[in-house]
A = this chain, B = another copy of it.
């Protein structure tokens, strides 16, 4: 006797569709589908609606490349922002973090990724030409590179620094050093080395 998969078509399709989420394989997708259908029908409906709304209503801000409902996002459209400063981040989540520090009043450019040659993500995929065009608007005077301090983020920063500097822009990078509130004994040696090298007058 042929085995009968007890999964009706809509369930199979849902499980397959859930696998488009990053880090979700067949088993996780199945677990998620069962959970939604058994315990959270309302959540499933809301998610369905939120996905459709986001796909239909969101685009990239034509100035900063972040997600936006309008052609130009709220941050870029804010006249109180300092248009001479441009901070380059990898993702909107990084932009969130910088905003929450209350320490920045300039504008942003969101790369939506970082150089990762091993994954085939090069300058073209990240549309570096758009960033160069944005930075060369004649108003921006300094570009602050705030990519992550990982190997890929550092590579991206180095690469962008050369491109931007060759166009006559001032380029800076977030400071490296001992994190606020930390005890030296528990800071890793690499960080201490950086903090020594980049020490400043007290």
Q: Residue of B at shortest CB range from A61?
A: B6
Chain A contact-residue range equals 35 or more
Q: Which residue of B has the minimal Cβ distance to A32?
A: B21
Question: What are the interface flags for A9-20 relative to B under an 8 Å C-beta threshold, 1 for contact and 0 otherwise?
Answer: 111011011101
A58 nearest CB neighbor, chain B only: B10
CB closest chain-B residue, reference A67: B11
B4 touches A78 (CB 8 A): yes
Asked whether, in the complex, the Cβ of B44 is within 8 Å of the Cβ of A6, the reply is no
A176 CB within 8 Å of chain B? no
- Given contacts A11-B67, A14-B54, is CB(A20)–CB(B3) below 8 Å? no
The smallest beta-carbon distance between A9 and chain B, in angstroms, is 7
User: How many whole Å from A37's CB to the nearest CB in chain B?
Assistant: 6
Q: Are B44's CB and A3's CB within 8 A?
A: no
Which of B36, B74, B92, B108 makes the CB contact (< 8 A) with A51?
Answer: B36
Given A7-B96, A99-B5, A45 and B36 contact (CB-CB distance below 8 Å): no
With a cutoff of 8 Å between Cβ atoms, the chain B residues found around residue A92 in the complex are 6-7, 11, 34
When the two chains form their complex, are residues B67 and A6 in contact, meaning their CB atoms are under 8 A apart? yes
Starting from the known contacts A3-B99, A10-B69, A18-B50, 6 additional A-B residue pairs (CB-CB under 8 Å) come to A6-B110, A7-B96, A8-B69, A21-B21, A36-B51, A38-B112
Can you name 23 A-B pairs with beta carbons within 8 Å?
Answer: A1-B80, A1-B105, A3-B100, A4-B99, A6-B66, A6-B67, A7-B92, A8-B69, A9-B69, A11-B58, A14-B50, A17-B47, A20-B36, A20-B40, A20-B47, A27-B93, A34-B93, A36-B55, A37-B55, A38-B113, A47-B47, A48-B49, A51-B51
